[in-house]
Amino acid sequence: MTLHTINKTPTESGALKDCLASLSDGDALLLIENGVYAAMPGYAELFTRLPASIQCYLLEEDASARGLKALNPDFGIIDYDGFVTLSCRYTKVLSWF
C-alpha cells in the first residue's frame, strides 16, 4: 500500500495523470501544495474511474492558503497531523513531480 502525493496542478505537470494510471487497490492519493487545485470541481472527472478502495485526501492548509472553498466532496480534508498519520499508515510514500 502506497501513499501518493501530488504537488502540481494538472496543467503544470503530467504527474497527476501518471499517478492515477498507476494506483493500485488500497493506495491513497494526497493533494498538497498546488496539487490541491486538482480537487476543484472542474477536475472531478479525472477521479470518477478510481476503484472504491483508493482514498483521496487534500491538505487543508494548502487549500486555505489558496482560497479554495468549493472542492470535490470525495476528498477527505486533512491537516498536517493527518498527513503524518497517513505517512505512517502506508508502507511507502511516493511523491510525483
Residue 39: per-residue pLDDT: 97
Whole-angstrom Cα distance, residue 35 to residue 59? 9
Which residue range is the domain that position 21 belongs to? 2-96
Domain count along the chain: 1
* pLDDT at position 28: 97
CATH of the domain at 13: 3.40.1260.10
CA 24 from chain centre, in angstroms, equals 14
Q: How far is CA 96 from CA 30, 45, 67, 69, 88, in A?
A: 10, 20, 23, 24, 18
pLDDT tens track for 8-67: 999 999 999 999 999 999 999 999 999 999 999 999 999 998 998 999 999 999 999 999
pTM: 0.95
